[in-house]
Amino acid sequence: MCQVILFAVAVSFFSFWSVNWFLMHFSAIFYGIWKLFRKRRLTAATRNWPGVSILKPLVGADPNLESNLETFFAMNYPIYEILFCMHEDGDPSLEIVERLRKKYPEVRSRVFVGGERVGANMKINNLFPGYREAKYDLFFFSDAGVKVKADTLMDMVQHMTDRVGLVHQLPLVCDGEGFTNALEKVYFSTVCARIYLAAAMHGFNCHIGMSALMRRSVLSEIGGLEKFSNHLAEDYVLASAVLSKGYKLVISSQPVWQNLESKRLSVFLARIARWTQIRFATQPHQVFVEPLFECLVNGLLGAWAARELFGWDPIPFYVLHVLVWLILDVILTIVVNGGVMPMNVFHFLACWIFRECSVLYPYLYAVFVPAIQWRAGIYRLDWGGQVKEAGLAPPSIR
């Protein structure tokens, strides 16, 4: 009886190991090649472009904020407005916004200060006055750390059809200095890109809400932005609501470029841990499932199963598994970065090894630390992703 159970477990593990390669690695690479950086000549004259209201939540200012915001003023799109939303008067971002508004008076823009308390989610509270006063039927939600190209908005709008409820973008990182920036580039070009592209290809919800285009009618149909104001993972819950109404989620052919100031390694690790905490609270079963998709853990399952089923030596099997995984991650990195390697091989390898060896940190943190530190607040998550405020974070980690 024990032998039968052991055999069944080995078959399950080996099947899982095998399917993971096709569902994740190869799906992501082939879909990325087909979808990303497709050349289109988009101009104001190619179609009757609808008006777009761009909503920018702002809290504080980092050294790259002005250059990031300026790319939105310089977009090649015929009709749009930029709605800057900040929590309080005197925010450092306000001076930057006013300077850019004077520099680009031809671009319609408005400033909303003070927010509106509709729930525990500070981002939605910030956005709500702008969301309520938006002029156009298309909403483009875009975080402060995002940098766009001249034709980014055209690219996103041309993906918006009647059956599409939300257009979003694969998150990547702009070039920067230091180990943390390189680590972020590797993380978003491999782990994040693999999951994001594979999920998008198979029609699953993979939305990360730093850049998203939606129609007013779809937002109204799912209850409006305020319905998600008590979720810290409002992007995922909102996208799930869109899917539940029969609409599709589509990624655009351009990634969203995060252009943030260089951060300490601890800040990056805290960010990844926070995302893991939110995912686990929203979908508790991922506590047990997610680690199985990681390279080192997945290889252990495959190596043990291969020994039990075929008598193969697990050590060479495991080494080959890691090597092929690394090669496919290099290929995926080149694909999502437009056909170029964004760093030299030595830097990539150092960051890749560090990330894979520290992979259990965010999972363990998510399990044993119930509080979430986000912006100026500390929150506690209930099962299902509902959020409750628990206090203010220390200034050093805001």
**Residue pair 321/303 in contact by the 8 Å Cβ criterion:** yes
Buried-exposed string 60-75: b where 16+ CB fall within 10 A, e elsewhere:
ebbebbeebbebbeeb
pLDDT of 267 reads 85
pLDDT of 395 reads 42
Predicted confidence (pLDDT) per residue in 345-365, tens digit: 999 999 999 999 998 888 888
pLDDT of 334 reads 97
Q: Where are the beta strands (DSSP E) in 169-323?
A: 171-173, 211-215, 248-251, 256-258
Predicted confidence (pLDDT) per residue in 58-74, tens digit: 998 888 999 999 999 99
Q: Which percentage of the chain shows pLDDT scores above 70? A: 90
Query: Per-residue pLDDT for 102 more than 80?
Result: yes
Higher pLDDT, 370 or 86: 86
pTM recorded for the entire structure: 0.91
**Residue pair 273/366 in contact by the 8 Å Cβ criterion:** yes
Domains (range + CATH), the chain: 2-32+279-381 (no CATH), 37-265 (3.90.550.10)
* Measured CA angle at 203 (ends 229, 161), to 5 deg: 75
Query: Per-residue pLDDT for 196 more than 60?
Result: yes
The Cα 386–Cα 229 span in angstroms is 9
pLDDT category of residue 372 using cuts at 50, 70 and 90:
confident
The Cα 247–Cα 166 span in angstroms is 8
Over range 95-100, report the average pLDDT: 96
Residue with token string 């096709």: 22
Residues β-bridged to residue 211: 142
Over range 191-220, report the average pLDDT: 93
Amino acid letter for position 374: W
Query: Per-residue pLDDT for 98 more than 60?
Result: yes
pLDDT of 273 reads 85
**Residue pair 107/53 in contact by the 8 Å Cβ criterion:** no
Predicted confidence (pLDDT) per residue in 222-246, tens digit: 999 999 988 878 899 999 999 999 9
User: 3-state class of 12 per DSSP?
Assistant: helix
Q: Share the mean pLDDT of the chain.
A: 89
Query: Per-residue pLDDT for 134 more than 50?
Result: yes
pLDDT of 168 reads 96
Query: Per-residue pLDDT for 370 more than 80?
Result: no
Phi, psi of 165 (to 5 degrees): -95, -20
Catalytic hit among 91, 143, 235, 329: 235
Predicted confidence (pLDDT) per residue in 151-160, tens digit: 999 999 999 9
pLDDT category of residue 277 using cuts at 50, 70 and 90:
confident
What is the residue-wise DSSP string for 61-118? Answer: --TTHHHHHHHHHT---SSEEEEEEESSTT-HHHHHHHHHHHH-TTSEEEEEES---S
Query: Per-residue pLDDT for 390 more than 80?
Result: no
* Measured CA angle at 393 (ends 392, 396), to 5 deg: 140
Query: Per-residue pLDDT for 295 more than 50?
Result: yes
Amino acid letter for position 335: V
Over range 72-83, report the average pLDDT: 96
Over range 289-317, report the average pLDDT: 94
The Cα 356–Cα 190 span in angstroms is 11
| Chain length of the chain | 398
**Residue pair 371/284 in contact by the 8 Å Cβ criterion:** no
Task: Clarify whether 89 is annotated catalytic.
Answer: no
